[in-house]
Structures are given as C-alpha cells and as structure tokens.
C-alpha cells in the first residue's frame, strides 16, 4: 500500500515536496497550515482534499498517516518535529534542521526513542552533480578530502525586510543558517568528520538597504524586525585534521552570485557549482561538476556531464525520503550529521560574538 504523507506549512517549497513524494508513489493526504487560506489555496493547487490548521487535528483525523513533511519557518521545525515524532510519524523536515544544535540533538534523540525516520531536506545532495561526484568518491578516485571551500555568496539577495527570514527569533540568523546547503555538501564530501574548532566573523553591512533585496518578490513587513547578519566568513578544523572554509552572504560586494563547493582530495580535487544568468533565479541556473586530476604526467580537468535540474535536487530529495519509507533507497542524510552541522553554525555565531576561536 502506498505511504501516506501530510504537508505541514504550505509555502512555495511545498510544490517540490508534493512532486517528489508523488514521484515515489506516495500519497499526499493533507495540508496543514496555521493560515486556513494558505491551506485552502495549496489544497486546490495540489488537488489534496483534506486541510487542517493544527497537526493534532491531522493526527486525530487520519489514523493511518505514515509521515509528515515540515516546511514552516525555521523556529517551528523543532516543536513540530517533536510533536510528529510523539504521534508516531516519520518526519521529513526542511533545512535548517532547527535554530541550534541543542534543539537538533533533542529531535534526533526523540526519533531514536520513537524508532522513526527523521531526515532533513539537504536537497543539494540530491542534485545530479552530487550523484555523479559521489561515484568518484566511492570508486576511490578522489581519496580523502583534506580541505574544502563552501560558498553561497549572494550580492543582492536579502529575502525581504522584517519578515521571518530577517527576524533572528524566527530564523535563527541570516545567510549563515539560511544558505547552509554548501556547508552541508562540503561536509558530505569530506565524510562528515567531527568538528574541532571554528573561528568566524559576521557582518551586517547593507542588511537594511532596499538596494540589496533579492528578486523573488518576498513582501516586506512594515515595522517587522531585521536583526540578522548579511554575511558570514569562517574557518573550521576537524578532529581528523581536515579543514573547511565557509563564506555565505545575502548582501556583499561580490562579482556575482556563486553557489559552490570546491575540494582538494589526496588523489583529485573537484568542484560542484551553480551560477546564474540572473542572480537568484533558478530558471537561469548554470550547473557544473568538475574533477581535477593528474594523469599520464599531465594536469587534467574533467567536466562531468549531468542532466540539468533546475530544482537543485529539491524534488529528488523529497523522492528519496518517500523511497526510504518504502525501504527502496538508502537515506541521503542521517540525523547525526545535522547535529554536527548545527554545532558548526552555533560555533560561527559564538566566535563572531566573542572574537575568539570556539572549541566544538
């Protein structure tokens, strides 16, 4: 029998989750949103009959529900994941996993105790470029990754002013926590080592300047709060001796928007990158995947050809969750990785505040 999944949070990201779950043969049985209007609009858009404003109504009404997909603003990930696990449901949760590592640890422990699957939407691991690059790691062609540089640098990409994205209490922070995808992908390529120390700095230049707003039409909230960083830079060391440099921004004087992981392995280096013809607009993306090797005495740069995927793995990532429920695929991420990732994010904020390196 097909798995039954409900969507909690009917924003624009729901489209990818619905497509991915259906692509795996799962059934999307309900939409939950605290705004009845948003739930209704989404139920019509995705042809889903049932809508609710609270998860508890969902759990009472659909007893054979298998899983929920949480796509709400970041501050609600932790309470909603805990509630779903307590109700005995598997959970797929949008990134970032929560506001901090302590909350993620509670979520991971609760999933273990409940014996339920908990996965996060680190969709860049589901990009065609990442599937291709993994084959080179698995074949031994890259060797250990000594060092990596993770970047999601936007030049003019503030997601509106005064809404949940720019309110630290609701988002957990600015681009460091919002654009954590490339840090996750770099850690994934590095084998998710245990972090040791982090030294970082954040900047809030341009964070209230309308010239630096992104192109997605996210409305500003009059008298709302904007108290997050505009850019973050950090250096992370690991207990294994590996190192990671990270650079994330919503607003910074860059040449253009760049989304990339570059790495240096013991046998080969490489890069997974997304550039844009129009910064921030997925439909104009230019994705690439490259490997740098030494062959027959020559430095060789290989271009790995992959299928285009404008969704940046978002649909494929949701499909992976639904296939994991059916035991038909291995999970693209495991909960303990989310704890390490959030420890690094917490560490960058702590280091920026104290001006000192932080032991993780």
Ligand X SMILES: NC(=O)c1ccc[n+]([C@@H]2O[C@H](COP(=O)([O-])OP(=O)(O)OC[C@H]3O[C@@H](n4cnc5c(N)ncnc54)[C@H](O)[C@@H]3O)[C@@H](O)[C@H]2O)c1
Residues near ligand X (CB under 6 A): 8-13, 32-35, 38, 71-74, 76, 94-95, 121, 123, 314
Q: Which two tokens stand for residue 89?
A: 């449901």
Spatial CB neighbours of 347, under 8 Å, sequence gap ≥ 6: 195, 197, 198, 200, 234, 236, 358, 360
Q: What is 180-243 written as a DSSP string?
A: THHHHHHHHHHT-PPEEEEEEEEE-TTTT-GGGB-TT-PPP-TT----S-SEEEEEEEETTS-E
* Smallest gap from residue 179 Cβ to ligand X (A): 9
Name the residue number minimizing CB distance to ligand X. Answer: 11
User: Smaller CB distance to ligand X: residue 167 or 202?
Assistant: 167
* Smallest gap from residue 191 Cβ to ligand X (A): 23
CA distances to 102, 227, 307 from 133, in Å: 32, 37, 13
CA distances to 23, 55, 122, 325 from 18, in Å: 8, 18, 16, 15
User: Smaller CB distance to ligand X: residue 77 or 343?
Assistant: 77
User: Smaller CB distance to ligand X: residue 214 or 269?
Assistant: 214
User: Smaller CB distance to ligand X: residue 126 or 145?
Assistant: 126
From CA 158, how far away is CA 161, in angstroms rounded? 7
* Smallest gap from residue 75 Cβ to ligand X (A): 8
* Smallest gap from residue 289 Cβ to ligand X (A): 19
User: Smaller CB distance to ligand X: residue 69 or 156?
Assistant: 69
DSSP 156: B
* Smallest gap from residue 273 Cβ to ligand X (A): 16
* Smallest gap from residue 23 Cβ to ligand X (A): 17
User: Smaller CB distance to ligand X: residue 280 or 357?
Assistant: 280
| Residue owning tokens 């996965």 | 119
From CA 266, how far away is CA 136, in angstroms rounded? 13
Output phi, psi for 204, to 5 deg. Answer: -120, 20
């Amino acid at each position: 029998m097909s798995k039954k999944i409900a969507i909690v949070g009917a924003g624009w990201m729901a489209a990818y989750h619905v497509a991915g779950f259906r692509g795996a043969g799962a059934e999307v049985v309900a939409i939950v949103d605290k705004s009845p209007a948003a739930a209704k609009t989404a139920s019509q858009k995705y042809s889903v009959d049932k809508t609710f404003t609270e998860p508890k109504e969902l759990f009472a009404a659909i007893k054979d529900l298998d899983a929920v997909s949480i796509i709400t603003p970041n501050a609600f990930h932790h309470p909603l994941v805990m509630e779903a696990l307590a109700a005995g449901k598997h959970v797929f949760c949008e990134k970032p996993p929560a506001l901090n590592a302590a909350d993620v640890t509670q979520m991971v422990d609760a999933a273990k105790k409940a014996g339920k699957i908990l996965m996060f939407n680190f969709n860049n691991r589901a990009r065609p470029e990442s599937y291709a690059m993994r084959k080179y790691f698995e074949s031994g062609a890259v060797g250990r990754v000594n060092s990596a540089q993770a970047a999601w640098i936007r030049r003019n990409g503030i997601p509106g002013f005064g809404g949940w994205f720019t309110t630290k209490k609701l988002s957990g922070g600015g681009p460091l926590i919002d654009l954590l995808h490339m840090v996750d992908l770099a850690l994934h390529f590095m084998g998710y080592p245990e972090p040791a120390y982090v030294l970082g700095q954040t900047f809030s230049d341009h964070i209230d300047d309308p010239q630096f707003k992104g192109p997605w039409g996210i409305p500003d909230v009059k008298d709302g709060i904007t108290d997050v960083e505009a850019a973050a830079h950090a250096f992370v060391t690991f207990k294994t001796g590996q190192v990671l440099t990270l650079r994330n921004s919503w607003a910074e004087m860059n040449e253009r928007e760049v989304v990339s992981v570059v790495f240096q392995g013991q046998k080969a280096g490489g890069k997974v990158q997304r550039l844009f013809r129009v910064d921030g607009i997925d439909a104009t993306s230019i994705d690439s995947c490259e490997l740098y090797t030494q062959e027959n005495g020559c430095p060789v740069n290989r271009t790995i050809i992959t299928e285009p995927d404008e969704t940046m793995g978002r649909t494929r990532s949701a499909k992976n969750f639904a296939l994991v429920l059916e035991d038909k695929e291995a999970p693209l991420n495991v909960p303990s990785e989310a704890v390490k990732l959030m420890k690094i994010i917490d560490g960058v904020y702590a280091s920026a505040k104290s001006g000192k390196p932080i032991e993780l």
